[in-house]
Amino acid sequence: MQITKGEELYRGKAKTVFHTNDATKLILEFRNDTSAFDGEKIEKLERKGEVNNKFNHFIMQQLENAGIKTQVESMLTDTQSVVKKLSMIPLECVVRNFAAGSLCRRLGIEEGIALNPTTFEFFLKNDALHDPMVNESHALAFDWATQAQIDRMKAITFDVNEVLTPLFRKGNMLLVDYKLEFGVSHDGEIVLGDEFTPDGCRLWDADTKKKLDKDRFRQGLGSVVESYIEIADRIGLSI
Ligand code: TMP
Ligand code: ASP
């Protein structure tokens, strides 16, 4: 069936979700809007929607090839992808291989320290509260997820590290940390949703430690989309 775009379902800070003519599918549109600090800083960056849509499609394909179920079905246009409809769980799953960002701020730790073992954190998806860190007992007490869903999200988030760390390493980059979001499919399965793009992870050049991800935008370092395209190039994706 030819998928066509229907009514808008949800407009996030950087993506818009649309219904389609198929009740089991949605369209994710990647916009040029780039947001940081829970929507405090928002700018339109030319071509970012296209770059992130193509980047996300490529990464999700790599994950599917490694046996990880994702929401992505196909790329519809340069900025839009067809995805399975999921009931999203309002938790962000963060794995860190090296210390950066909020971990350094929270614990006074020096940026760049290798974390062994790799750490896992949950954050509640809530801009008004600035995405507070929460734990498993909060998730259970407030019915954000069941224990089985929590266990599955954690396991898949670590599985993603096994696939993507070597992929980026081949491009001489360190996968410092990343954030994943999951949803529940119509048959009750936990499926990787949302996106994996340089907007939601940290990637550094392995030698110079140059920041190549959205920290360029957060910290006003410039050349944001150019850097995303460079990341793609380095992993063999020409955008
Ligand atoms: P943090 O250091 O700010 O906690 O972020 C850890 C990683 O998760 C980093 O790669 C950015 C990503 N992230 C998001 O993309 N969105 C978010 O809302 C949060 C909290 C983190
Ligand atoms: N939470 C995202 C970030 O800064 C986007 C935003 O907060 O506006 O990574």
Q: Is 37 in the pocket of ligand 2 (CB under 6 A)?
A: yes
Q: Is 123 in the pocket of ligand 1 (CB under 6 A)?
A: yes
76 CA to centre of ligand 1 in angstroms: 27
Q: Is 94 in the pocket of ligand 1 (CB under 6 A)?
A: yes
The arithmetic mean of pLDDT across residues 109-117, rounded, is: 98
The closest residue, in CA terms, to atom 21 on ligand 1 is 179
Model confidence over 218-231: pLDDT tens digits?
999 999 999 999 99
Contact 27, 5 (CB under 8 A): yes
pLDDT at position 38, please? Answer: 86
| Residue 104 Cα: closest atom of ligand 1 | 2
Q: Is 13 in the pocket of ligand 2 (CB under 6 A)?
A: yes
Model confidence over 123-163: pLDDT tens digits?
999 999 999 999 999 999 999 999 999 999 999 999 999 99
Query: b/e for 86-113, b at 16 or more Cβ within 10 A?
Result: bebbebbbbbbbbbbeebeeeeeeeeee
Query: Residue 143 carries which side chain, given as an amino acid letter?
Result: D
| Structural domain boundaries, residue 19 | 5-84
Token pair listed for 165: 């760390």
In this structure, the answer to whether residues 209 and 117 fall within a common structural domain is: yes
Q: Which of 35, 52, 84 is the last residue of a domain?
A: 84
- 125-153-236 Cα angle (round to 5): 90
215 CA to centre of ligand 1 in angstroms: 10
Q: Is the pLDDT of residue 20 over 90?
A: yes
| Residue 200 Cα: closest atom of ligand 2 | 9
Q: Which of 84, 111, 139 is the last residue of a domain?
A: 84
Q: What total of structural domains would you count in the chain?
A: 2
